[in-house]
Structures are given as C-alpha cells and as structure tokens.
C-alpha cells in the first residue's frame, strides 16, 4: 500500500475507554506493518519540550573547547560529542553534530562478548550541569512510555501484554541530541538508514521539516507536526515479527543555509545481552509476514548488543579505530 503521509496516533486513546484502546492497538499494528513510521500525539506540556530544546541549544552554544573535552573519541562506549562531519552513514559523511548519552554505568572488567564494551559512563559537559538533569528526567519519562507501547504492540499482534516485559528490565536506551546546521556543501544531514534497535521516539524541534521516510511509493517528507513524536521501529522489531512489522529507511536532509534543525531521538532498547523474544503472531498476521530483510552489507542480529555494536563501529570509524581496532581489522 502506498502512503503519502504518516498515520497519526493519539496516546490519549489509551485513557479513553476500551473502544479507544482497541482502535489505538489496531492503528499501531497497521501503521508499523505498512509504513513502519507514525506520528504519536504525546500530550506532554509545551514547557517541558521548550526546556529540552533550550538546553540542547545551550549545549551546542558552548565554547568549542568545552565540547572537545567530551569528544566521543575519548570514549570506548561511543558516548559524548561528535563534531560536525564526524559520523558516517553508508560511508558518506553526515552533516550534523551531536551528543550521545546512554545508561550511566561503571566500566566493566569483563568485555567478552565484545558488545559489553558499550556499557560504561557518559561524558557530561562540566559547563552545563542542567543538561544531565533535563535529559535524565526525559529518559525516565520515555522509558515509561516505551514499556507501555511495547505492551500495546504485543497485544496488537496476539501475544500477551507482558511478552516484552522482562526483555526491557535492564533497558539499554540511547539518547542523542542532534544539530543539523544549514549548509551548501551537502544535502546529507544524516544518510539513509534503519535504526538498529526496537523502538525510536523522535522529538523534532517544532516547525522543522527535513525528515524523509521511504515508502512503497517512494520517499515522503515528514511535515512538522506539533505535540507529536515521530515513532519508528527498528531492526529488532522487524526480526521478532519475522518481518510482519517493518523497519523503514529514513534520512534527514540538511536545512537551508542560515537555518538549523535540532532533534532529540530516543532509542528504546533492551539490555545489551538480551536475545530479542520472537512474537507468536496471530495466524492471519503470520501469513503476511515478509521474513526479515536479508542484506549482506547489514546483517541483523537478534542479540541487541551485537546489532548495536555493528551500527556504532560503522558510524564512528574514528572511535572504532582508536578503541576497537581488533574488531575492525585495524592495527590493534
């Protein structure tokens, strides 16, 4: 089926009686079977969203040396600031700067299997302590929402509500705060990709376009939509539903010169060592499962840590060469 706009779901439906809940689940299943992307009206106070973007702007406005002090290249865990042009998608440079923040954990002694190297501390900017406060509150809020949505997905597919619960007990979420400056050098803000995990809750700075999603009918522009997340599923959700649900390629075009675009994607994912639990699909859905995408250049692993490490090594070759040369065939 071809689509020229994303479906819009409303979280308020989950508190509006059994019929509304049923409708929400149906929309969730259909949207992620057919498109893999949808708008989700969130009902979050504007003041919360405004504070997030004000804090994000304050971070990007810090002096270069404050950001350089927390460069991702310092971190074997791929945490911290990536300068403009420091990231690749499909081998091409992305024109964005960002900070990556994961669960705050001590460094581990045991790093076998290698994905355990991704556990560890964040790098927070010393000059902007409120970044940590604001982001930790946001991450907690989105963790609750992520768990609720996973239960709705399970029910929508014919599985018990708690199908995913234990998988997310020790969630290994990832949050990025991203800035795309306007440029004439390239149209690539971030190149075509699928997200490697389960679920992405993307908050885009109000009023900004630039996100494009691949559908059967071609690439479509996602228009700015107030008070909504853009939600998409990642490769693991495709894998556990044998392709009944679809991880969809997307990209961001660089904004016009003289403007910029901020976004805050939150990737809701299980523990690194979690094996993604296959969903027992209702027979009428199993019949329409397409199988998992087979691509020799992007093999999907159902162990989250393996799938994440694959994506991180590919996107950040400088971090890979410095800290993980043994995994990428470097000098070591």
Ligand X SMILES: O=C(O)CCC(=O)C(=O)O
Q: What is the smallest separation between the CB atom of 265 and ligand X, expressed in angstroms?
A: 5
- Nearest residue (CB) to ligand X, 103 versus 265: 265
Phi and psi based region of residue 187 (left: phi greater than 0; alpha: psi -120 to 50; beta: remaining)? alpha
Helix 18-34 with 130-157: angle, nearest 10 deg:
90
Residue 88: how many CA atoms within 13 Å on its side-chain side? 13
102 touches, from ligand X, Fe ion, none (C-beta below 5 to 8 Å by class): none
Nearer to ligand X, 159 or 262 (CB): 262
Q: Which does 252 bind (CB under 5 to 8 A by kind): ligand X, Fe ion, none?
A: ligand X
As measured in angstroms, the least distance from the Cβ of 250 to ligand X is 5
- Closest chain position to Fe ion (CB): 195
Taking the CA atoms of 305, 307, 309 and 312 in sequence, report the sign of the dihedral they define.
Answer: negative
Q: How far is the CB of 235 from ligand X (least distance, A)?
A: 12
**Residue nearest ligand X, CB atom distance:** 263
Residue in 133, 135, 152 with CA at minimum distance from that of residue 233:
152
Minimum CB separation of residue 129 from ligand X in Å reads 25
204 binds, among Fe ion, ligand X, none (CB under 5 to 8 A by kind): ligand X
For Fe ion, the binding residues (CB under 5 A) are 195
Residues in contact with ligand X by the rule CB under 6 A:
176, 178, 190, 195, 202, 204, 211, 250, 252, 263, 265
- Are 222 and 209 spatial neighbours (Cβ–Cβ below 8 Å)? yes
Joined together, the tokens standing for residue 253 give 């075009």
Minimal distance, residue 20 CB to Fe ion, in Å: 30
> Cβ closer to ligand X: 234 or 270?
234
Which listed option, Fe ion, ligand X, none, makes contact with residue 6 (CB within 5 to 8 Å by class)?
none
Q: Do residues 84 and 99 make contact, with C-beta atoms less than 8 angstroms apart? A: no
Q: For residues 314 and 88, is the Cβ–Cβ distance under 8 A?
A: yes
């Amino acid at each position: 089926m071809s689509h020229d706009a994303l479906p819009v779901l409303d979280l308020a439906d989950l508190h509006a009686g059994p019929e509304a809940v049923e409708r929400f689940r149906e929309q969730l299943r259909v949207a992620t079977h057919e498109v893999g992307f949808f708008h989700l009206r969130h009902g979050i106070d504007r003041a919360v969203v405004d504070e997030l973007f004000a804090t994000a702007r304050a971070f990007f406005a810090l002096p270069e040396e404050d950001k350089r002090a927390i460069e991702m290249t310092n971190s074997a865990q791929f945490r911290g600031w990536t300068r403009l042009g420091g990231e690749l998608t499909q081998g091409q440079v992305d024109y964005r700067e960002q900070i990556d923040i994961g669960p705050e954990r001590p460094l581990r002694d045991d790093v076998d299997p290698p994905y355990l190297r991704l556990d560890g501390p964040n790098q927070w900017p010393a000059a902007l302590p409120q970044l940590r406060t604001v982001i930790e509150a946001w991450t907690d809020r989105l963790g609750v929402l992520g768990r609720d949505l996973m239960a709705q997905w399970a029910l929508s597919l014919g599985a018990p509500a708690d199908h995913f619960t234990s998988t997310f007990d020790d969630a290994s979420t990832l949050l990025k705060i991203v800035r795309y400056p306007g440029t004439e050098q390239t149209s690539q803000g971030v190149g075509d990709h699928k997200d490697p995990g389960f679920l992405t809750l993307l908050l885009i700075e109000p009023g900004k376009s630039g996100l494009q999603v691949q559908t059967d009918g071609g690439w479509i522009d996602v228009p700015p939509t107030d008070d909504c997340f853009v939600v998409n599923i990642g490769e693991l959700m495709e894998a556990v539903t044998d392709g009944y649900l679809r991880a969809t390629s997307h990209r961001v075009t660089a904004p016009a010169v003289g403007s910029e675009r901020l976004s805050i994607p939150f990737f809701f994912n299980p523990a690194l060592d979690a094996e993604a639990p296959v969903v027992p699909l209702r027979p009428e859905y199993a019949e329409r499962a397409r199988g998992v995408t087979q691509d020799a250049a992007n093999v999907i692993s159902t162990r989250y840590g393996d799938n994440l490490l694959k994506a991180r090594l590919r996107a950040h070759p400088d971090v890979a060469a410095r800290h993980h040369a043994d995994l990428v065939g470097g000098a070591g």
